[in-house]
Amino acid sequence: MKDDSPFVTTDWLFNNLEQPDIRIVDASWHMPNAARDAAAEFEKAHIPGAVYFDLDRIADTASDLPHMVAAPEDFAAMVGELGISDTDTIVIYDSVGLFSAARVWWNFRIMGANNCFVLEGGLPAWQNKSYPVGSGAISPEPTLFNALPDIQAVVGIKEMQRHCSINEEGRPVQIVDVRPRLRFTGEQAEPRPGLKSGCMPGSINLPFSELVTGGTMQNREAVLSALRCAGINPDEPIISSCGSGVTAPILNLALATLGIDAMRVYDGSWAEWGATAGCPVIGREGQLL
Protein backbone atom coordinates (compact mmCIF):
# COMPACT_ATOMS: atom_id res chain seq x y z
CA MET A 1 0.00 0.00 0.00
CA LYS A 2 1.35 3.42 -0.94
CA ASP A 3 1.02 6.35 1.45
CA ASP A 4 -2.06 8.48 0.66
CA SER A 5 -2.79 6.44 -2.49
CA PRO A 6 -6.24 5.09 -3.33
CA PHE A 7 -4.51 2.05 -4.86
CA VAL A 8 -2.89 -1.12 -3.55
CA THR A 9 -0.58 -3.33 -5.57
CA THR A 10 -1.10 -6.97 -6.42
CA ASP A 11 1.96 -7.83 -4.31
CA TRP A 12 0.51 -6.04 -1.31
CA LEU A 13 -2.83 -7.81 -1.67
CA PHE A 14 -1.21 -11.23 -2.11
CA ASN A 15 0.82 -10.68 1.05
CA ASN A 16 -2.28 -9.61 3.00
CA LEU A 17 -4.88 -12.07 1.72
CA GLU A 18 -5.18 -13.77 5.10
CA GLN A 19 -5.60 -10.60 7.15
CA PRO A 20 -8.97 -10.80 8.96
CA ASP A 21 -10.10 -7.27 8.08
CA ILE A 22 -9.38 -7.51 4.33
CA ARG A 23 -12.47 -7.68 2.11
CA ILE A 24 -12.00 -8.11 -1.63
CA VAL A 25 -14.67 -6.98 -4.06
CA ASP A 26 -15.03 -7.89 -7.72
CA ALA A 27 -16.74 -4.86 -9.25
CA SER A 28 -16.74 -6.03 -12.87
CA TRP A 29 -19.42 -4.58 -15.12
CA HIS A 30 -19.62 -4.42 -18.90
CA MET A 31 -21.50 -2.27 -21.37
CA PRO A 32 -24.73 -3.91 -22.56
CA ASN A 33 -23.33 -4.29 -26.09
CA ALA A 34 -20.19 -6.09 -24.84
CA ALA A 35 -22.00 -9.46 -24.72
CA ARG A 36 -20.21 -10.37 -21.46
CA ASP A 37 -21.70 -11.72 -18.22
CA ALA A 38 -19.66 -10.33 -15.33
CA ALA A 39 -21.34 -12.54 -12.72
CA ALA A 40 -20.69 -15.71 -14.74
CA GLU A 41 -17.08 -14.65 -15.30
CA PHE A 42 -16.69 -14.12 -11.55
CA GLU A 43 -17.78 -17.69 -10.85
CA LYS A 44 -15.18 -18.96 -13.33
CA ALA A 45 -12.28 -16.94 -11.95
CA HIS A 46 -11.86 -14.44 -9.12
CA ILE A 47 -9.30 -13.44 -6.54
CA PRO A 48 -9.55 -15.83 -3.57
CA GLY A 49 -11.98 -14.55 -0.95
CA ALA A 50 -13.57 -11.99 -3.27
CA VAL A 51 -17.31 -11.30 -3.39
CA TYR A 52 -19.18 -10.03 -6.43
CA PHE A 53 -20.67 -6.52 -6.32
CA ASP A 54 -23.54 -6.34 -8.82
CA LEU A 55 -23.75 -2.70 -9.93
CA ASP A 56 -27.27 -3.16 -11.24
CA ARG A 57 -28.57 -4.85 -8.08
CA ILE A 58 -26.84 -2.80 -5.36
CA ALA A 59 -28.59 0.27 -6.71
CA ASP A 60 -31.85 2.18 -6.73
CA THR A 61 -33.75 -0.45 -8.70
CA ALA A 62 -36.94 1.64 -8.59
CA SER A 63 -35.32 4.23 -10.86
CA ASP A 64 -35.76 4.11 -14.62
CA LEU A 65 -32.07 4.97 -14.88
CA PRO A 66 -29.37 2.29 -14.69
CA HIS A 67 -27.35 1.59 -11.51
CA MET A 68 -28.27 4.76 -9.64
CA VAL A 69 -26.94 4.99 -6.08
CA ALA A 70 -29.01 2.98 -3.62
CA ALA A 71 -30.52 4.57 -0.52
CA PRO A 72 -27.98 4.35 2.34
CA GLU A 73 -30.03 1.83 4.30
CA ASP A 74 -30.42 -0.39 1.22
CA PHE A 75 -26.73 -0.14 0.37
CA ALA A 76 -25.81 -1.02 3.95
CA ALA A 77 -28.10 -4.05 3.98
CA MET A 78 -26.86 -5.40 0.64
CA VAL A 79 -23.13 -4.98 1.25
CA GLY A 80 -23.61 -6.30 4.79
CA GLU A 81 -24.97 -9.46 3.17
CA LEU A 82 -21.68 -9.64 1.26
CA GLY A 83 -19.83 -9.75 4.58
CA ILE A 84 -18.44 -6.23 4.32
CA SER A 85 -18.28 -3.78 7.22
CA ASP A 86 -17.63 -0.06 6.95
CA THR A 87 -14.54 -0.53 9.14
CA ASP A 88 -12.97 -3.22 6.94
CA THR A 89 -10.09 -2.61 4.55
CA ILE A 90 -11.86 -2.99 1.21
CA VAL A 91 -9.94 -3.75 -1.99
CA ILE A 92 -11.87 -3.40 -5.24
CA TYR A 93 -10.96 -4.66 -8.69
CA ASP A 94 -12.53 -5.38 -12.06
CA SER A 95 -11.79 -7.79 -14.88
CA VAL A 96 -10.76 -5.07 -17.36
CA GLY A 97 -8.05 -3.49 -15.22
CA LEU A 98 -9.62 -0.14 -14.37
CA PHE A 99 -13.16 0.52 -15.53
CA SER A 100 -16.10 -0.16 -13.22
CA ALA A 101 -13.93 -0.58 -10.08
CA ALA A 102 -13.76 3.20 -9.72
CA ARG A 103 -17.57 3.42 -9.52
CA VAL A 104 -17.73 0.88 -6.70
CA TRP A 105 -14.78 2.54 -4.89
CA TRP A 106 -16.70 5.82 -5.06
CA ASN A 107 -19.92 4.15 -3.89
CA PHE A 108 -18.23 2.70 -0.81
CA ARG A 109 -16.40 5.96 -0.09
CA ILE A 110 -19.54 8.09 -0.19
CA MET A 111 -21.24 5.63 2.17
CA GLY A 112 -18.53 6.14 4.78
CA ALA A 113 -16.06 3.32 4.09
CA ASN A 114 -12.80 5.25 4.35
CA ASN A 115 -10.41 2.27 4.17
CA CYS A 116 -11.32 1.59 0.56
CA PHE A 117 -8.81 0.98 -2.23
CA VAL A 118 -8.59 -0.08 -5.87
CA LEU A 119 -6.28 -2.87 -6.99
CA GLU A 120 -3.69 -1.58 -9.47
CA GLY A 121 -4.27 -3.28 -12.81
CA GLY A 122 -7.23 -5.30 -11.53
CA LEU A 123 -7.71 -8.98 -12.24
CA PRO A 124 -5.44 -8.95 -15.35
CA ALA A 125 -2.49 -7.73 -13.25
CA TRP A 126 -3.25 -10.36 -10.61
CA GLN A 127 -3.33 -13.13 -13.20
CA ASN A 128 -0.20 -11.82 -14.92
CA LYS A 129 1.65 -12.42 -11.64
CA SER A 130 0.34 -16.02 -11.68
CA TYR A 131 -1.25 -15.44 -8.31
CA PRO A 132 -3.99 -17.92 -7.33
CA VAL A 133 -7.60 -17.56 -8.46
CA GLY A 134 -10.75 -19.11 -7.05
CA SER A 135 -13.92 -20.25 -8.75
CA GLY A 136 -17.51 -21.08 -7.93
CA ALA A 137 -20.21 -19.28 -5.97
CA ILE A 138 -19.35 -17.49 -2.71
CA SER A 139 -21.42 -17.57 0.50
CA PRO A 140 -20.04 -14.86 2.79
CA GLU A 141 -21.03 -14.49 6.41
CA PRO A 142 -23.28 -11.41 6.74
CA THR A 143 -22.13 -8.53 8.91
CA LEU A 144 -23.16 -4.97 9.80
CA PHE A 145 -22.30 -2.06 7.51
CA ASN A 146 -22.98 1.30 9.12
CA ALA A 147 -23.63 3.77 6.30
CA LEU A 148 -22.62 7.40 6.86
CA PRO A 149 -23.55 8.93 3.51
CA ASP A 150 -22.01 12.03 1.98
CA ILE A 151 -25.22 13.53 0.64
CA GLN A 152 -23.37 16.22 -1.32
CA ALA A 153 -21.46 13.67 -3.40
CA VAL A 154 -24.46 12.43 -5.40
CA VAL A 155 -25.46 15.26 -7.72
CA GLY A 156 -28.96 15.34 -9.21
CA ILE A 157 -30.35 16.79 -12.41
CA LYS A 158 -31.81 19.94 -10.82
CA GLU A 159 -28.42 21.05 -9.59
CA MET A 160 -26.90 20.28 -12.98
CA GLN A 161 -29.58 22.36 -14.70
CA ARG A 162 -28.73 25.30 -12.43
CA HIS A 163 -25.03 25.03 -13.25
CA CYS A 164 -25.72 24.84 -16.98
CA SER A 165 -27.91 27.96 -16.86
CA ILE A 166 -25.11 30.08 -15.39
CA ASN A 167 -22.73 31.75 -17.80
CA GLU A 168 -19.15 30.50 -17.78
CA GLU A 169 -17.81 33.56 -15.96
CA GLY A 170 -20.13 32.90 -13.03
CA ARG A 171 -20.19 29.10 -13.00
CA PRO A 172 -19.10 27.91 -9.53
CA VAL A 173 -18.10 24.40 -10.59
CA GLN A 174 -16.31 22.60 -13.42
CA ILE A 175 -18.47 19.95 -15.08
CA VAL A 176 -16.13 17.32 -16.48
CA ASP A 177 -17.53 14.73 -18.90
CA VAL A 178 -15.30 11.66 -19.31
CA ARG A 179 -17.10 10.14 -22.31
CA PRO A 180 -15.13 9.54 -25.52
CA ARG A 181 -14.53 12.76 -27.43
CA LEU A 182 -16.75 11.98 -30.43
CA ARG A 183 -19.71 11.26 -28.17
CA PHE A 184 -19.07 14.52 -26.30
CA THR A 185 -19.03 16.53 -29.55
CA GLY A 186 -22.12 14.78 -30.88
CA GLU A 187 -20.30 13.29 -33.85
CA GLN A 188 -20.93 9.76 -32.59
CA ALA A 189 -24.32 8.43 -31.47
CA GLU A 190 -24.84 7.27 -27.92
CA PRO A 191 -24.86 3.49 -27.37
CA ARG A 192 -28.14 3.76 -25.47
CA PRO A 193 -31.15 4.35 -27.74
CA GLY A 194 -33.27 7.48 -27.44
CA LEU A 195 -30.55 9.83 -26.21
CA LYS A 196 -29.54 13.10 -27.82
CA SER A 197 -25.94 13.35 -28.97
CA GLY A 198 -23.70 16.09 -27.63
CA CYS A 199 -22.77 17.64 -24.30
CA MET A 200 -23.99 19.90 -21.50
CA PRO A 201 -23.39 23.63 -22.03
CA GLY A 202 -20.14 24.74 -20.41
CA SER A 203 -18.93 21.21 -19.72
CA ILE A 204 -15.33 20.11 -20.27
CA ASN A 205 -14.31 16.86 -21.95
CA LEU A 206 -11.57 14.66 -20.55
CA PRO A 207 -12.04 11.11 -21.88
CA PHE A 208 -11.27 8.60 -19.15
CA SER A 209 -9.04 6.79 -21.65
CA GLU A 210 -6.59 9.68 -21.24
CA LEU A 211 -6.32 8.91 -17.53
CA VAL A 212 -5.97 5.14 -17.88
CA THR A 213 -3.42 3.19 -19.88
CA GLY A 214 -3.22 -0.58 -20.10
CA GLY A 215 -5.85 -0.96 -17.41
CA THR A 216 -3.88 1.14 -14.92
CA MET A 217 -4.20 4.75 -13.77
CA GLN A 218 -1.58 7.08 -15.21
CA ASN A 219 1.05 8.39 -12.81
CA ARG A 220 0.54 11.69 -10.97
CA GLU A 221 2.46 13.76 -13.53
CA ALA A 222 0.46 12.34 -16.44
CA VAL A 223 -2.83 12.88 -14.60
CA LEU A 224 -1.91 16.50 -13.91
CA SER A 225 -0.89 16.98 -17.53
CA ALA A 226 -4.18 15.55 -18.79
CA LEU A 227 -6.15 17.85 -16.48
CA ARG A 228 -4.21 20.92 -17.56
CA CYS A 229 -4.46 20.09 -21.26
CA ALA A 230 -8.24 19.79 -20.88
CA GLY A 231 -8.40 23.18 -19.13
CA ILE A 232 -9.35 21.74 -15.73
CA ASN A 233 -8.14 23.33 -12.50
CA PRO A 234 -7.88 20.47 -9.97
CA ASP A 235 -7.97 22.96 -7.11
CA GLU A 236 -11.44 24.20 -8.06
CA PRO A 237 -14.76 22.35 -7.49
CA ILE A 238 -15.48 19.54 -9.96
CA ILE A 239 -18.52 17.42 -10.80
CA SER A 240 -17.78 14.39 -12.97
CA SER A 241 -20.18 12.92 -15.50
CA CYS A 242 -20.17 10.17 -18.15
CA GLY A 243 -22.64 7.97 -20.01
CA SER A 244 -24.48 6.40 -17.10
CA GLY A 245 -22.36 7.10 -14.01
CA VAL A 246 -19.99 4.11 -14.23
CA THR A 247 -16.82 5.71 -15.60
CA ALA A 248 -17.27 9.24 -14.19
CA PRO A 249 -15.63 8.21 -10.88
CA ILE A 250 -12.43 7.36 -12.75
CA LEU A 251 -11.87 11.13 -12.69
CA ASN A 252 -12.58 11.27 -8.94
CA LEU A 253 -10.15 8.39 -8.44
CA ALA A 254 -7.53 10.20 -10.54
CA LEU A 255 -7.95 13.30 -8.38
CA ALA A 256 -7.50 11.12 -5.30
CA THR A 257 -4.08 10.09 -6.63
CA LEU A 258 -3.20 13.79 -6.40
CA GLY A 259 -4.40 13.94 -2.79
CA ILE A 260 -7.59 15.78 -3.79
CA ASP A 261 -10.81 14.66 -2.10
CA ALA A 262 -13.27 15.53 -4.87
CA MET A 263 -16.14 13.07 -4.71
CA ARG A 264 -19.03 14.74 -6.54
CA VAL A 265 -20.59 12.76 -9.43
CA TYR A 266 -23.65 13.49 -11.55
CA ASP A 267 -25.24 10.11 -10.94
CA GLY A 268 -27.74 10.14 -13.82
CA SER A 269 -25.08 11.42 -16.23
CA TRP A 270 -25.89 11.42 -19.96
CA ALA A 271 -28.42 8.58 -19.61
CA GLU A 272 -30.59 11.10 -17.77
CA TRP A 273 -29.56 14.43 -19.33
CA GLY A 274 -29.74 13.24 -22.94
CA ALA A 275 -33.22 11.79 -22.42
CA THR A 276 -34.80 14.64 -20.45
CA ALA A 277 -36.90 17.22 -22.28
CA GLY A 278 -35.78 20.78 -21.65
CA CYS A 279 -32.15 19.92 -20.86
CA PRO A 280 -30.01 21.96 -23.26
CA VAL A 281 -27.55 20.02 -25.40
CA ILE A 282 -24.66 21.34 -27.46
CA GLY A 283 -24.59 19.15 -30.57
CA ARG A 284 -22.39 18.92 -33.63
CA GLU A 285 -20.73 22.17 -34.70
CA GLY A 286 -21.82 23.84 -31.48
CA GLN A 287 -25.53 23.82 -32.25
CA LEU A 288 -27.87 24.19 -29.27
CA LEU A 289 -30.43 21.39 -29.33
Residues belonging to the active site: 242
Q: Cβ(42)–Cβ(31) under 8 Å?
A: no
Q: Which amino acid is at 175?
A: I
> CA 6, CA 115: separation in Å to the nearest integer?
9
DSSP assignment string, 214-276 = TTEEPPHHHHHHHHHHHT--TTS-EEEE-SSSSSTHHHHHHHHHTT-----EESSHHHHHTTS
Dihedral, CA of residue 119, residue 123, residue 127 and residue 133, to nearest 10:
100
Q: Which residues pair with 52 in a beta bridge?
A: 26
> CA 164, CA 200: separation in Å to the nearest integer?
7
